Chain A
Amino acid sequence: MSEHHAHEIRQATRKYIYVFLALLLGTVITVVAAYVPFGSRSLNVAVALLIASAKAFLVAGFFMHLISEKKLIYGLLGATGFFFAGLMFLIVWSNADQFLSIFR
């Protein structure tokens, strides 16, 4: 193993520690935000999901190395994301009335 390679791994390790700390902070923010009255429960849901998405991005991006992955993996996940979004939108469409009532 080259010295350069070892240096890269040590740098990455430092990054992992920062991501870990950010995830802990994100957990605290998630819990605190759940008790803050944003005016409506749907807004609390949106905030919680936004924080969870940010945490998911950190895990997937850095721990799972998706930030610098090969094209094949991006293609695979792109297709998965498309069908996952479809799965979610199907539910929204089938319940459009209830969802819209949240904003009224």
Chain B
Amino acid sequence: MDIPHTVEARPDTGLYNAKVGIWLFLASEVMLFGALFSSYILLRVGAEAWPHGLLSVPIGTFNTVVLITSSITVVLAWASLKLGDLSRFKLYQGCTVLLALTFVAVKSFEYRDKFTHYYVRLQDGTELNGHLAGNPLNWTAANLADTNRVGASITFHPDAAGGEGEGAHGGHAEPIELTAANVAKLESWGPWRSTYLAIYFTLTGLHALHVIGGALVIAYLWGPGSRMWRSDPERFTNRVEVCGLFWHFVDLVWIFLFPVLYLL
């Protein structure tokens, strides 16, 4: 059975069906991210203090440029198909996949940076933020009390500023030794650490899932999916356009996420 209106426009809408479909989907996506953005506003306005400088602006700027560049390669790939040039399409769309992978790799690096950055409260009430020697991932006080490490200690390098935020990317103060006996609380800067980190991980995590999903579809159309170019080139071009619309939306969301989470 043939799916109707994959190439020719429906007389009543003036559009091929997949285009109406993707816009309906994007409308639902606007509401999904809109709900999370409004949650962000609610949390920020209601917070007594909002941290600044927890994220690296150069890294965030780099990822913004990566996504913007991937948007232009997507649209140039589609334009190449319109000009009947499959090899150029492959070149541009291949670049898009690489850029998407770069974005996800950088994001993973940023996430790892948070899960290896720690808040510690000592038994005497002193509160510190910093790094553990060897940068272990997501430790808690339970790791210090590990029976296999009885009597052992781990070196902690406090941030120079001492408080959250300002010293996140600065130098370190004098190191101290942590043991199960002198630590009351130890936790990484995961989503549980603060309201800001909770909404940061929620928004960027959902966005990263969109990047991964979009990259998978783009990679499919670049690889095995491109066989359709030989049998039905116009339909294939429309598939690439629809996929591109989703990708631009992902870029558009990041355009707002970047200043909201990294700069303000």
Contact = CB atoms under 8 A, between A and B. Distances in A.
Given A63-B71, A84-B30, A13 B259 contact: no
Given A59-B71, A59-B251, A63-B248, A48 B259 contact: yes
Main secondary structure of the interface of B (DSSP, over half): helix
Given A9-B83, A13-B79, A70-B13, A52 B256 contact: yes
A47 B26 CA distance: 26
| Interface size of B as a range | 35 or more
Contacts, number: 123
Interface string B51-84: 0000001000100110011011011100100111
Contact of B72 (A12, A20, A31, A52): A20
Contacts of B248: 59-60, 63-64
A31 B263 contact: yes
A60 B42 contact: no
Interface of A: 1, 5-6, 9-10, 12-13, 16-17, 19-20, 23-24, 27, 30-31, 34, 41, 44-45, 48-49, 51-52, 55-56, 59-60, 63-64, 70-73, 76-77, 79-80, 83-84, 87-88, 90-92, 94-95, 98-99
20 contacts: A16-B72, A19-B72, A23-B71, A27-B65, A27-B68, A49-B256, A52-B255, A56-B256, A60-B248, A60-B252, A63-B244, A71-B14, A73-B15, A77-B23, A77-B27, A80-B27, A80-B30, A87-B34, A88-B41, A92-B41
